[in-house]
Structure 1
């Protein structure tokens, strides 16, 4: 019996050496359950890493280490994944900081949350998600109703003496983006450290008093007063020349016009302050029309204001939205080319508009498809003039669209033949 066992082992050993039998299955038989489990966890972790699911992969490596804390492979995998998670967390955190500085708090908040998803103990992200400098116990505040030309940064300067503190106001009011505030919006100005409620109220009073002292904008009357002495000087000149009575009016009128032109050149251009009343009127009228969904009229009012204040972000934002909404309305009314024009205008006011290029393309494609199919419909009914008209509309925009060019040639040729036959019969 012993001899048989020895022979079996010897044969098996020879087979392994010759490569006829793999050693792995044999070793696996002798592996412990713990070792197999560790291998399984590591394999699952590696698969999750390939799918960029690092947090889930980390859990697998932790499970492997609970089974075998000494597993060098699991330890190394854990270190690599932690490094990647930290890098990702930092990337999201830095993006959040930039968005915070721009006053885009909702977008910044998402980045901070993403940072915490990758690294739950990220102190910077945690701090950014908690309101800073506002006294939690009191939460006292005053209300400031926004007027034309005011911004959240300006309010931070008025009440805190530092425009960078716009983040405090923005977060306290749960604003998604401080650049998207509107005239008439009520903004809460919270009490912060070293600036109590009474000081806020005093600063508000001082600000409003300073606004009252600014006189209403009016066109200066000086140019009108200067015209009178010009006329008197002309009269003196005319009397000394003593021309015939009939010709007196001509040199007099010429001199008046010449002097008025000189005077007009000397008149200063109206300043922004002088235009402020007109800008405000057009702006408020535009908002009213926009809210009533009268977008073309709103665009006219906003454009009038933008000509005098071309860098006003709120105006540009309203112009974008007015064009975009009018584009949607026209698209739904099947006025595709007009809709396309408005989407293109909207894109000029906001180059980051993601939907605009899609709508522009959709407008053109829908327009071409509509008129191409109508051409086929009319051609089938032998209404050649209408078919030609429809296909010409398509060809003007895209001569290579489907079979529009050969179809058009065929329709025109048939139409000419029919017309020549009709003329022959009439003769």
Structure 2
């Protein structure tokens, strides 16, 4: 169960199972390995996801920030600072705007802030894909943040009064959109961070995921605008969770027949539920654990084989859809599809290369539009 909980990202439950095993067998190397993995994952993921949330929040990308804070909270449910930040973001006031003929997100943003580039804030807050046309009569929400707040409610207090992380200084949080590359670092620091990033990529490609996680965390902590460091960090944490222990090395007590049958049935039900939910890697792990208990069970063998086929089909579908979007110059949509590939298979070299190419093109287009 410790391994099952680990692959599902339920670190506290996994930790309890492995610690229990270590009490019975203090020299168990696998339990020690997983506990070390859990320690790295919980410590780094909490800080990186929280920092990522703050960075997105400071750009006015509230829904994206909420998603990152929710990730941090799943890793560390007891975090008061994360819960406080989530609550504040979820309570941001807004004014409704009815779309008129000729309106675009850029024109609406310019109407309130005199800056059409603030359309990204509106797109995020309303869950609208950039470039998606507005419909006459459609209602969109204008959040009272950043320059929009200055236009809508200049005298009202900022909803996000202070960051819990800065409680000692009580420094206010200003949600001000930052342009790409706005954060400046000196050449020596950039060179050092690039070196650390390259070391992280090398460790990742070598399967040393724990080392890679620590390196990517350091790069991102010192430069929150380093998108690739964040992307690789997420891939490395996913890969570590899916880096299964060798089946023969996973200690299993001698169960009674009734216990085995009950546990196998539970694993089968869990695996089927995961498969239905699209959690294919997790389902594969669950079926593999069930097969360890009943190696000759043909039903489990079939479910495992079918789920592996589902995984490959999903990877191919998202890869090809990304290529289709790329050829249509819908770069953001292409990146999202290749992100899905890398979520299913963090080591998928083709998706990594395609994604990197699309991101560079997108950054170039963004830079040219701001000139």
Q: TM-score normalised to the size of structure 2?
A: 0.29
Relative to the length of structure 1, the TM-score reads 0.26
RCO (CA 8 Å, sep 6+): is it higher in 1 or 2?
2
